[in-house]
Homo-oligomer: A and B are copies of this chain.
Amino acid sequence: MLKIAKPFLLMLAGIIFLSPSTVMATDALQAELLNTLWVVIAGAMVFLMQAGFAMLETGMVRAKNAVNVMMKNYIDLCVGTLLFWLVGYGLMFGDNPSGFYGTNLFGLSSAPDWDYTLIFFQIMFAATAATIVSGAMAERTNYIAYLIGTCGITAIIYPVFGSWAWNEHGWLKQMGFIDFAGSTVVHSVGGWCALAAVILLGPRLGRFGEKGEARQVPGHNLSFIAIGGFLLWFGWFGFNGGSTLAAGTNLGHILLNTHIAGAAGAVGAMLLCFSTRQPALLTSTVNGSIAGLVAITAGCASMQVPYAILTGAIGGGLSVLGTIWLERMRLDDVVGAISVHGICGVWGTLAAGLFLTGNMYDTHQILVQLAGIGAAFAWVFFSALIMYFLISKVFGLRVSTMHEQRGLDITEHGEIGYPEFGKDVVYSSESLKDLSKI
């Protein structure tokens, strides 16, 4: 007996060493490593969208407001990061018995590794939602009022809706609402906040003539707009790809859908401009691609490539039409954020239902999508309207006419963006003249 017992025991030892649980533990660790790696890289890519938004938005304003827009983009990220860690993450992803908001995980400081990975990634999303608003409100908003609005969005408005759609026990999630990476959760939320702000703010001085006719206010640096568009597009690969929250073999499909919808968005916008005999402006083209990316965000993981093209192209066309439509409503959205993020977010969320692989044009799914779209608008638009109304009463939302004319750079920050260039055009103030002598 002992004769076979020895190798038998050795084998047994080998098997214990190699027992399924050990291998599975190793596999689980490997999986967590891979997932961590992908999610942090994707999070860093999403971070770079902040630079994209900053360039895009700054390029679209006049030089006298360049510093102000840059500052808003920079500081809303910083304030939003701190607040989302402190409040927002818990509201969005904490235990959610009611289905309407989370109740723990506030100010996370002692947690498993994976939770830190998640919050790192989610912070970037909250910052994206907040920063969408800055462009729409540009060139006329009180800096402090803007910052307080950012606090409200990252701490309350965004995470509460997020807890409905993305929290495991959120009521929209439970209904089967599909919004993979946030056409609604991030982009429409940002868009509807922008809409509320723009309605309360009113248009910039001179944006509409006495008879209500729209006047174009060209941005000061169109090169920035294109580079901003490229940076946003790059970040979107992290935005949509990272939303798997796992390294999956389907990443190629997701990113191909994302990329091709962006391309189709630009082409869609261009074709719509040609067909309506408008010039295909750089701004429309870049916004078209962003609109395509917004539109594919909800369905990038559950759609075949040709439908991604269709979704993106229609998104691009809608961004042009939306801009025209808002202009007719005499709403002054400086960068087109409401159209690109709000309206195309709606379209993308609908498209995710319409073109769901294996279950296309399913009435139930489409109704669920519409419920999510409607809930987002109802919660976000009205809570943002109330918030900005209160801010306007307490702090004042809009700067004075004189400050708006002189530019927010000098009046809000005491700096100018390009002190050696174009002074006679940009800066009317006599007090700045001596800068040229330095």
Contact = CB atoms under 8 A, between A and B. Distances in A.
Contacts of A392: none
Interface string A103-131: 00001111001111111100100000000
A171 interface: no
B51 A281 contact: no
B417 A222 contact: yes
A275 interface: no
Contacts of A51: 227, 230-231, 234
B425 A425 contact: no
Interface in A43-70: 43-45, 47-48, 50-51, 54-55, 58, 62-63, 66-67, 70
A75 interface: yes
Interface stretch (A27-35, A90-98, A182-190, A383-391): A27-35
Given A74-B282, A116-B256, A280-B413, A54 B247 contact: no
A223 interface: yes
A432 B45 CA distance: 39
Interface stretch (A159-167, A302-310, A327-335): A302-310
A220 B252 contact: no
Interface string A354-371: 000000000000000000
Nearest to A265: B78
A40 interface: yes
Contact of A260 (B82, B217, B248, B414): B82
Interface in A209-242: 215, 217-227, 229-231, 233-234, 237-238, 241
Copies of this chain in its oligomeric complex = 3
Interface string A264-290: 101100100000000111110110010
A287 to B, nearest CB: 11
A37 interface: yes
Nearest to A30: B30
A409 B368 CA distance: 46
B304 A249 contact: no
A266 B78 contact: yes
Given A67-B222, A218-B419, A255-B120, A270 B75 contact: yes
A435 interface: yes
Given A14-B15, A30-B30, A234-B47, A256 B226 contact: no
Contact of A220 (B18, B253, B420): B420
A249 B32 contact: yes
A37 B81 CA distance: 27
Given A279-B413, A281-B415, 9 more contacts: A30-B34, A37-B38, A40-B241, A40-B251, A50-B230, A78-B262, A110-B304, A116-B252, A116-B253
Interface of A: 7, 11-12, 14-15, 17-20, 23, 26-27, 29-30, 32-34, 36-41, 43-45, 47-48, 50-51, 54-55, 58, 62-63, 66-67, 70-71, 73-75, 77-79, 81-82, 85, 107-110, 113-120, 123, 206, 215, 217-227, 229-231, 233-234, 237-238, 241, 247-253, 255-256, 259-260, 262-264, 266-267, 270, 279-283, 285-286, 289, 304-306, 309, 413-423, 425-426, 435-436, 438
